[in-house]
Amino acid sequence: MPSITNLFHIALKTPNLEATSFFYRDILGMELAQRPALDFDGIWLKTATPHGEIIIHIYAGDAALEPDGSMAVGAGVIDHVALTAQGYEAFRQRFETWGLDWRENVLAEIGLWQLFVYDPSGVMLELSFAAASEDQATPEFTSDRQYRPREPFFDASSYPTFTSGNA
């Protein structure tokens, strides 16, 4: 019987390769992966997990444009991309340090804590934390930080600008 065995990679488009690279490397902690010689700009990012590597392909330049030449923002019909993570409080502090807006959620009945944040292209990411692996009490947060489906909080006009000068 044929079966799906794992998610191989996701591919995202960006109008700003430098800012997107900075976000995934310096804020989320991913590293650059070897990328074959392709005929368009972009990068590959990776991070090791107990189940193998997570790989994200970033398309830039002409490859990131829609057929009409425009640049899409967000993830279309995909609501968000979820990644498992460790270090709940450290990620909260990074988001605050870099001026990123985020939302939080606690699913106590299944031992899961969540942080939601947008990348520079408006793709919402969910960072999911196993509560049992976090060395802290259940996080508390104000109601304005509560994640609510159907309530987007991405604002391109106030999103931080990340450049190599930020590092």
In the numeric block, which tokens belong to residue 138?
């259940």
* Higher pLDDT among residues 9 and 52, named by residue: 9
- Residue 8 is predicted with a pLDDT of 85
CA dihedral (109, 48, 13, 94) positive or negative: positive
Residue 162 in this model has a pLDDT that exceeds 80: yes
In which band, very low, low, confident or very high, does the pLDDT at 6 lie, cut at 50, 70 and 90?
confident
Query: What stretch of H or E contains 55?
Result: strand 52-59
Distances (CA, A) of 108 to 113, 117, 129, 131, 146: 8, 20, 11, 8, 14
Express each pLDDT in 29-58 by its tens digit.
999 999 999 999 999 999 988 778 889 999
Spell out the residues 6+ positions from residue 17 whose beta carbon is closer than 8 angstroms to its own. 41, 42, 43, 58, 60, 61
Residue 105 in this model has a pLDDT that exceeds 70: yes
CB under 8 Å, gap of 24 or more: what pairs does 69-75 form? 71/13, 71/15, 72/13, 73/121, 73/122, 73/154, 73/156, 74/121, 74/122, 74/123, 74/124, 74/154, 75/122, 75/123, 75/124
* Higher pLDDT among residues 113 and 3, named by residue: 113
Residue 73 in this model has a pLDDT that exceeds 60: yes
Express each pLDDT in 108-160 by its tens digit.
999 999 999 999 999 999 999 999 999 999 999 999 999 999 899 999 999 99
**3-class DSSP state of 161:** coil
* pTM of the model as a whole: 0.91
- DSSP label at residue 115: E
